[in-house]
């Protein structure tokens, strides 16, 4: 490719509206342009990178027996009704009507369509296992698209689905995917952590995320360096020091706490209690077909609720904090004076059924202090299991850096920001049961197909590579996914000798199978070097004045090391360098 005819609209300055590094550099390197919020056009340089990533994904998916499909982005409402997700996907799903008034949506993921095909075409365990995949455009109406390609409304995803006759088959397919994903991300030059994750709207029993540690990420992950335990914050647990409670009274005692509204207030109130001896009481509303239903989430006073954990504890139902008026209607008190003791009775008297979910750290605790469901009053001497009608014990608490690893003895947890680039799910029979996809076992029994679902975000891989590999001058592409292997920079294109040497190198390198960009623009050498650094081609061959002595310069973008080489030996030298840099 000749830069003089190639469209790489680089920018000199950082774009004003870009915050994260990958966003800035994708814009500055002339790779993407925004068409609307969260909707980007990919220019040729970006698409070259994406095609290399997709080729790697395809190779590794084929290697584990994956078969490539292409399913429609337009989906009829009916199949999403069958799985129950037409409603569950809420505002995140783009919906439209066709000219005949039929409801359609744009696929956010393709469990439904693949399950429908499996239902119609698979009959017997003999046809299993199957791994079906596609590399295809997904649509999600993100409430807050941002960070360039990190949170968008349209993106390319490799999604695959495994179909097995039993759980053992699913375990194998899941492991095959885990290994394939590791190879894919390794080959794309990403450093990543595999973490336990919440399955969220996908459902199923188990899931892992592939996380790249970067400040640009919007996820938080928890890692134990000692034993390798790693989990998404929404799933992570930790060991915390047990607290020995002194015995309390036989029943809770109410006492006045004028003006006390927060945990913090009560720690300093005379006769109050330290935060870890208080019960934090939060009111949430959970989605239900007949309207939102209230619940109390109870935690230790110094602990924070993770809403995803609460939602997961409820089987994946969406939850939201109750509004102040909903709280008062329910319990007759304001948010600062709530408590679990007698809460169900109070709610029932007001015509509402109330569910109580308590964090595991409250189990066995006694002599605690909490709100009295009466403004300006609290209760002390509360024995959680004796005095509160807990419906469900669950892990609801946000893990903090420095807490103990839940898996090993001496490990300490750390919390990092991270970017999700892949996610694998053991779906089990959630979709095959709701949509009726069954096969006959060897014994002739009809069973629902056991499914897995696995995704990789192609743009995220590209953006993560930039987040991990860049410097002040621009991108430093991993060689495997660089848009070009090498750039030949002719410092003065008007000099015949330089131009001819550049053309000769260009032809030779192409003949040797390299992806080459020839910078044949009529620009100053400084501009060309800056642009080459910015777009991040791994090697630059510079044809300058030394060509008079038959020499050119080889410059490695990553190390910034330059060396001189005979023109006639440049190709061989480049091959050597590339071979050395292979991991």
Residues making contact with a copy of itself (CB under 8 A): 5-7, 9, 33, 35-36, 39-44, 47-48, 50-51, 65, 67-76, 79, 91, 94-96, 98-99, 102, 104, 106, 113, 116-117, 120-121, 127, 130, 132, 137, 139, 141, 143, 153-154
Give the C-alpha separation, 529 to 474, whole Å.
11
Answer yes or no: are the C-beta atoms of 454 and 163 closer than 8 Å.
no
Nearer to a copy of itself, 248 or 483 (CB): 483
Residue 387 neighbours by CB distance under 10 Å = 21
Nearer to a copy of itself, 11 or 251 (CB): 11
Nearer to a copy of itself, 123 or 386 (CB): 123
Nearer to a copy of itself, 117 or 390 (CB): 117
Instruction: Write down the least CB distance from residue 120 to a copy of itself, Å.
Output: 7
71 to 7, 133, 314: CA distances (angstroms): 31, 9, 32
Which run of H or E residues covers position 461?
helix 458-468
Helices (H), 100-166: 111-121
- Dihedral angle over CA of 175, 179, 181, 182, nearest 10: 140
Q: How many CA atoms lie within 13 A of 515 on its CB side?
A: 13
Instruction: Write down the least CB distance from residue 526 to a copy of itself, Å.
Output: 20
Instruction: Write down the least CB distance from residue 140 to a copy of itself, Å.
Output: 10
Instruction: Write down the least CB distance from residue 485 to a copy of itself, Å.
Output: 17
402-408 CB contacts, 8 Å cutoff, 24+ apart: 403/238, 403/239, 403/240, 404/238, 404/239, 404/240, 405/224, 405/226, 405/227, 405/229, 405/238, 405/239, 406/229, 406/236, 406/237, 406/238, 406/239, 407/224, 407/227, 407/229, 408/224, 408/226, 408/227, 408/229
- DSSP letters, 382-415, are E-HHHHS--SEEE--BPP-TTSBPSSSSS-BEEE
Instruction: Write down the least CB distance from residue 130 to a copy of itself, Å.
Output: 6
Query: At a CB cut-off of 8 Å and minimum separation 6, what does 354 contact?
Result: 294, 295, 296, 330, 343, 344, 347, 348
Nearer to a copy of itself, 36 or 241 (CB): 36
Give the C-alpha separation, 370 to 539, whole Å.
65
Instruction: Write down the least CB distance from residue 76 to a copy of itself, Å.
Output: 4
Closest CA to 33 of 43, 24, 19, 21: 43
Give the C-alpha separation, 245 to 368, whole Å.
8
Nearer to a copy of itself, 114 or 210 (CB): 114
Nearer to a copy of itself, 107 or 538 (CB): 107
Nearer to a copy of itself, 76 or 404 (CB): 76
Q: Computed from CA positions of residues 413, 417, 422, 424, in that sequence, does the dihedral angle turn out positive or negative? A: positive
Answer yes or no: are the C-beta atoms of 163 and 150 closer than 8 Å.
no
Nearer to a copy of itself, 302 or 485 (CB): 485
Instruction: Write down the least CB distance from residue 35 to a copy of itself, Å.
Output: 5
Nearer to a copy of itself, 283 or 482 (CB): 482
Instruction: Write down the least CB distance from residue 92 to a copy of itself, Å.
Output: 8
Nearer to a copy of itself, 35 or 349 (CB): 35
Instruction: Write down the least CB distance from residue 523 to a copy of itself, Å.
Output: 11
Nearer to a copy of itself, 149 or 362 (CB): 149
Instruction: Write down the least CB distance from residue 493 to a copy of itself, Å.
Output: 13
Closest CA to 11 of 471, 465, 474: 474
Answer yes or no: are the C-beta atoms of 428 and 393 closer than 8 Å.
no
Give the C-alpha separation, 569 to 552, whole Å.
10
Residue 582 neighbours by CB distance under 10 Å = 7
481 to 178, 420, 516, 541: CA distances (angstroms): 21, 19, 14, 19
Instruction: Write down the least CB distance from residue 414 to a copy of itself, Å.
Output: 36
What are the backbone dihedrals phi and psi of residue 132, each rounded to the nearest 5 degrees, phi first? -115, 135
Instruction: Write down the least CB distance from residue 340 to a copy of itself, Å.
Output: 36
Strand partners, 138: 155
Instruction: Write down the least CB distance from residue 32 to a copy of itself, Å.
Output: 10
Nearer to a copy of itself, 45 or 399 (CB): 45
Nearer to a copy of itself, 137 or 304 (CB): 137
Instruction: Write down the least CB distance from residue 161 to a copy of itself, Å.
Output: 12
Local structure of residue 129 (DSSP, 8 states): -
């Amino acid at each position: 490719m000749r830069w003089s005819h190639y469209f790489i609209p680089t920018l000199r300055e950082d774009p004003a509206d870009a915050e994260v590094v990958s966003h800035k550099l994708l814009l500055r390197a002339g790779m993407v342009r925004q068409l609307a919020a969260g909707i980007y056009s990919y220019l040729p340089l970006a698409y070259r990178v994406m095609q290399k990533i997709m080729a790697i994904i395809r190779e590794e998916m084929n290697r584990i027996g994956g078969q490539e499909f292409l399913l429609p982005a337009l989906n009829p409402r009916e199949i999403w009704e069958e799985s129950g997700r037409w409603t569950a996907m809420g505002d995140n799903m783009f919906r439209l009507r066709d000219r005949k008034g039929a409801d359609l949506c744009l696929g956010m993921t393709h469990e439904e369509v693949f399950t429908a095909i499996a239902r119609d075409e698979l009959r017997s365990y003999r046809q299993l296992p199957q791994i079906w995949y596609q590399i295809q455009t997904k649509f999600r109406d993100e409430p807050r698209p941002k960070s360039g390609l990190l949170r968008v409304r349209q993106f390319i995803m490799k999604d695959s689905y495994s179909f097995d006759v039993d759980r053992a088959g699913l375990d194998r397919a899941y492991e095959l995917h885990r290994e394939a994903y590791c190879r894919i991300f390794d080959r794309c030059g990403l450093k990543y952590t595999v973490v336990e994750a919440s399955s969220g709207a996908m459902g199923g029993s188990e899931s892992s995320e592939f996380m790249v540690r970067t400040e640009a990420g919007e996820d938080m992950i928890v890692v134990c360096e000692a034993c390798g335990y790693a989990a998404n914050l929404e799933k992570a647990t930790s060991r915390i020091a047990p607290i020995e409670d002194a015995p309390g009274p036989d029943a809770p005692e109410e006492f006045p706490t004028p003006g006390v509204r927060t945990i913090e207030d009560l720690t300093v109130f005379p006769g109050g209690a330290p935060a870890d001896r208080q019960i934090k009481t939060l009111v949430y509303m959970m989605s239900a077909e007949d309207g939102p239903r209230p619940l109390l989430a109870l935690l230790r006073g110094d602990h924070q609720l993770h809403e995803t954990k609460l939602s997961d504890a409820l089987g994946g139902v969406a939850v939201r904090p109750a509004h102040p008026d909903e709280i008062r209607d329910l319990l007759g008190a304001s948010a600062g004076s709530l408590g679990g003791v007698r809460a169900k009775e109070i709610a029932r008297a007001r015509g509402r059924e109330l569910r109580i979910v308590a964090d595991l750290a409250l189990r066995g605790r006694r002599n605690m202090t909490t709100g009295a469901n009466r403004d300006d009053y609290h209760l002390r001497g509360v024995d959680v299991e004796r005095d509160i009608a807990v419906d469900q014990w669950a892990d609801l608490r946000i893990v903090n850096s420095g807490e103990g690893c839940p898996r090993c003895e001496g490990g300490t947890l750390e919390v990092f920001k991270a970017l999700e680039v892949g996610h694998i799910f053991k779906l089990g029979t959630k979709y095959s049961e709701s949509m009726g996809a069954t096969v006959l076992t060897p014994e002739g029994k009809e069973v629902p197909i056991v499914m897995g679902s696995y995704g990789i975000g192609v743009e995220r891989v590209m953006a993560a590579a930039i987040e991990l590999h860049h410097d002040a001058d621009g991108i430093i592409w991993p060689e495997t996914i660089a848009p070009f292997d090498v750039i030949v920079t002719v410092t003065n294109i008007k000099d015949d000798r330089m131009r001819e040497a550049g053309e000769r190198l260009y032809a030779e390198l192409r003949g040797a199978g390299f992806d080459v960009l020839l910078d044949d623009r009529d620009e100053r050498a400084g501009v060309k070097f800056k642009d080459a650094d910015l777009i991040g081609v791994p090697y630059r061959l510079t044809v300058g004045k030394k060509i008079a002595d038959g020499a050119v310069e080889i410059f490695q973008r990553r190390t910034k090391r330059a060396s001189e080489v005979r023109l006639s030996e440049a190709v061989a030298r480049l091959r050597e360098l590339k071979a050395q840099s292979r991991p």
